[in-house]
Amino acid sequence: MAYWVLKGLLSPIFLLLWRIKVEGREHVPAKGPVILAPNHTTFLDSMFMPLVLRRRVTFVAKAEYFQSWKTAWFFRAVGQIPMRREGGNASERALAAARDVLAEGKVLGIYPEGTRSPDGRLYRGHTGVARLALGCGVPLVPVALVGTTAVQHPGSNLPHPFKKVTVRFGKPLDLSRFGEGGDADPMALRAVTDELMFEIRSLSGQEYVDRYSKRHGVVGGAEVSAVHAGSEAATNGGGRPPLPMGPQPAAASTEPAA
């Protein structure tokens, strides 16, 4: 109930302050479980994307948001799921809660980069989102939030009004080729994640950087050691594959993860 009340209150304010355009909304199923995986450059991303959808979006958010009085009230009110950096039982419970959201036929939002981009570029994705999509057998929709860095510059807490923001939804990824058990295959998880990041890059036009934005940062359902650290280690051990379905950007970095 609080989700819809807050959305009703905030929507007119956001529409007054910013010119918000939505593209590809038809790619989001009108019903049934789905994972939305957007790029992440500002705190306001978690408000811009739900604003343009008629369905409720439940995000997996970093636990720090629930520890600060400035943000805790909002995230608790709208029923977001906290994810802790230390992994273990707390992270497993968060992932179980995320699976419950999907089992109930709802919309789950996850930032595959795991944390906000420090400079507006698109960073390498973590495999937690792929594990959920394959394990739960649900559609995985790439999303690009374009123009949000002009609204809130990286590292700044001050939003700038009267900017244009585009929320662009891509087609769901075709995961049928991975079949059953793909969520237990490290190479499949990495392939799905890299394909997802390629699609986000195509939608957003961002420069891609082939390293994690913040290797030990708290993530939105992605960097959870108890869930996929082993699979990422197995994949990374053989070297990182390039993004599929297209050439790497010339400026992409190949340095190892921090």
Domain, as residue range, for 137: 32-237
Contact 93, 226 (CB under 8 A): no
Examine the pLDDT at 146 and tell me if it is beyond 80: yes
* Residue 181, pLDDT score: 79
Examine the pLDDT at 194 and tell me if it is beyond 80: yes
Whether 170 is covered by a domain: the verdict is: yes
Residues of the chain with pLDDT > 90: what percent? 59
Residues of the chain with pLDDT > 70: what percent? 74
The count of structural domains within the chain is: 1
Q: Assign 86 a pLDDT band (cuts: 50, 70, 90).
A: low
Residue 143: which CATH number?
3.40.1130.10
**What tens digit of pLDDT does each residue of 2-52 get?**
889 889 999 999 999 999 999 999 999 999 999 999 999 998 998 999 999
CA distances (Å), origin 222, targets 149, 201, 214: 22, 18, 12
* Residue 81, pLDDT score: 77
Whether 233 is covered by a domain: the verdict is: yes
Whether 24 is covered by a domain: the verdict is: no
- 118-150: b or e for each residue (b if 16 or more CB lie within 10 Å)? eebbbbbbbbbbbbbbbbbebbbbbbbbbbbbb
Give me Rg for the CA atoms of the chain: 17
Q: In angstroms, rounded to a whole number, what is the distance separating the alpha carbons of residues 136 and 107?
A: 13
User: Max Cα separation, the chain?
Assistant: 50
Whether 145 is covered by a domain: the verdict is: yes
Whether 11 is covered by a domain: the verdict is: no
Contact 31, 137 (CB under 8 A): no
Whether 244 is covered by a domain: the verdict is: no
User: What is the rounded average pLDDT of the residues 186-196?
Assistant: 96
User: What is the rounded average pLDDT of the residues 229-237?
Assistant: 41
Whether 243 is covered by a domain: the verdict is: no
Query: Which positions ≥6 away from 138 have C-beta within 8 Å?
Result: 32, 33, 34, 35, 102, 132
Length of the chain: 258
Whether 45 is covered by a domain: the verdict is: yes
HEC string of the chain?
Answer: CHHHHHHHHHHHHHHHHCEEEEECHHHCCCCCCEEEEECCCCCCHHHHHHHCCCCCEEEEEEHHHHCCHHHHHHHHHCCCEEECCCCHHHHHHHHHHHHHHHHCCCEEECCCCCCCCCCCCEECCCCHHHHHHHHHCCCEEEEEEECHHHHCCCCCCCCCCCCEEEEEECCCCCCHHHCCCHHHCHHHHHHHHHHHHHHHHHHHCCCEECCCCCCCCCCCCCCCHHHHHHHHHHHHHCCCCCCCCCCCCCCCCCCCCC
* Residue 85, pLDDT score: 54
Q: In angstroms, rounded to a whole number, what is the distance separating the alpha carbons of residues 165 and 188?
A: 33
**What tens digit of pLDDT does each residue of 111-145 get?**
999 889 999 999 999 998 999 999 999 999 999 99
> Which has more confidence, 237 or 115?
115
Q: In angstroms, rounded to a whole number, what is the distance separating the alpha carbons of residues 49 and 93?
A: 25
Examine the pLDDT at 168 and tell me if it is beyond 90: yes
* Residue 248, pLDDT score: 42
* Residue 66, pLDDT score: 67
Mean residue pLDDT of the chain comes to 81
